[in-house]
């Protein structure tokens, strides 16, 4: 006959935690390196590996040094990268047309990586902000307003150029209405039926992007992105963004940022059968480093706890700058 325990002293939960073997036996494992995508910044030039002051441990790479760095993370078991192009003001125009140049820095990086490391899965960020002179994710009308529908064709051009260069997956991040459908249709019509589409489906207008914007030189020259990125105060619309992208042909969905939005990740995981990615963004990365540098916490413990929280919330794919330090911070 079973006994109903009222609690202490019959029930002592410390018995389950009394040594490392028991703790490890009962714990959920951290995700392996195969679950991670490393976001990287690529610039024009040769022999460049420029440290990012706002993101210690991360760099801007030229194509040749990126190929070398990719080999190093590949040896850890990290076999996926997401590429962001960083260009100077001379490359930027109101329409961002350098973004779809076949000789663009992203396109060249994709080709070089696929030649050097054919087994890598290469994701590319599809947006206009890195290439527009105004820094917005869509084109502007005469009054300076970001206009949605004319931007879709340009985003599709960027995605097609990345697919032509050999990208395995394109990841639209502009948060224009209908961007997923426009890109999916363009890929299908051009014969790129196997190119994956990872949608930044719920991307919030967040305060956590500052280090990234410094790294990518992509801050808007005026205004902000609140008219097109999701409002973090509006749960229902944030969910609808992802569900609409699923209906438009996305293969994978994404929540960005990650740590402040564990509830969204959990809800989305319950609402879709598609893989759910979480982008562990630059502000989250730099926040933990700053905490450790001030002696307020151990970096390895902080990183492992944060990644564990993302896993517990239901994350399938971890887009994270910690990927390049997997062996040091996350390997069991």
Under DSSP, the state recorded for 221 is S
- Is 203 annotated as catalytic? yes
Under DSSP, the state recorded for 99 is G
Where do we find the tokens 């589409």?
A: 197
- Is 256 annotated as catalytic? yes
How many angstroms separate the CA atoms of 304 and 207, rounded?
A: 23
Residue of 276, 253, 263 lying closest to 31 (CA atoms): 276
Contact present, 180 and 249 (Cβ < 8 Å): yes
Residues in the chain: 332
How many angstroms separate the CA atoms of 130 and 153, rounded?
A: 17
Contact present, 99 and 133 (Cβ < 8 Å): no
Catalytic residue from among 79, 256, 300, 331: 256
Catalytic residue from among 79, 157, 203, 269: 203
Contact present, 241 and 201 (Cβ < 8 Å): yes
Active site residues: 203, 256
């Amino acid at each position: 006959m079973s006994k109903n325990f009222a609690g202490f002293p019959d029930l002592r939960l410390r018995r389950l935690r009394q040594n490392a073997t028991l703790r490890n036996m009962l714990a959920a494992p951290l995700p392996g390196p195969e679950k991670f995508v490393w976001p990287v910044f690529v610039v024009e030039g040769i022999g460049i590996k420029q440290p990012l002051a706002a993101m210690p441990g991360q760099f801007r790479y030229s194509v040749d040094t990126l190929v070398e760095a990719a080999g190093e993370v590949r040896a850890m078991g990290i076999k996926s990268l997401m590429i962001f192009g960083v260009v100077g003001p001379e490359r930027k125009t109101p329409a961002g047309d350098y973004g779809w140049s076949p000789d663009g820095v992203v396109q060249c990086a994709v080709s070089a990586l696929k030649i050097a490391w054919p087994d890598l899965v290469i994701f590319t960020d599809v947006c206009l902000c890195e290439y527009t002179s105004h820094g917005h994710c869509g084109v502007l009308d005469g009054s300076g307003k970001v206009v949605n529908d004319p931007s879709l064709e340009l985003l599709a051009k960027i995605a097609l150029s990345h697919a032509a260069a050999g990208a395995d997956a394109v990841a639209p991040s502009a948060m224009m209405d209908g961007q997923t459908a426009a890109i999916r249709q363009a890929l299908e019509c051009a014969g790129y039926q196997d190119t994956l589409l990872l949608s930044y489906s719920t991307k919030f207008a967040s305060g956590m992007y500052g280090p990234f914007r410094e790294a990518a030189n992509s801050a808007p020259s005026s205004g902000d992105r609140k008219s097109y990125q999701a409002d973090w105060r509006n749960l229902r619309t944030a969910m609808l963004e992802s569900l609409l992208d699923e209906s438009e042909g996305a293969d994978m969905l994404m929540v960005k940022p990650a740590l402040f939005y564990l509830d969204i990740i959990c809800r989305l995981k319950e609402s879709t059968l598609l893989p759910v990615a979480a982008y562990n963004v630059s502000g989250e990365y730099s926040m933990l480093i700053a905490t450790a540098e001030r002696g307020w916490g151990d970096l390895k413990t902080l990183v492992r706890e944060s990644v564990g929280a993302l896993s517990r919330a239901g994350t399938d794919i971890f887009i994270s700058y910690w990927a390049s330090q997997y062996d040091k911070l996350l390997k069991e």
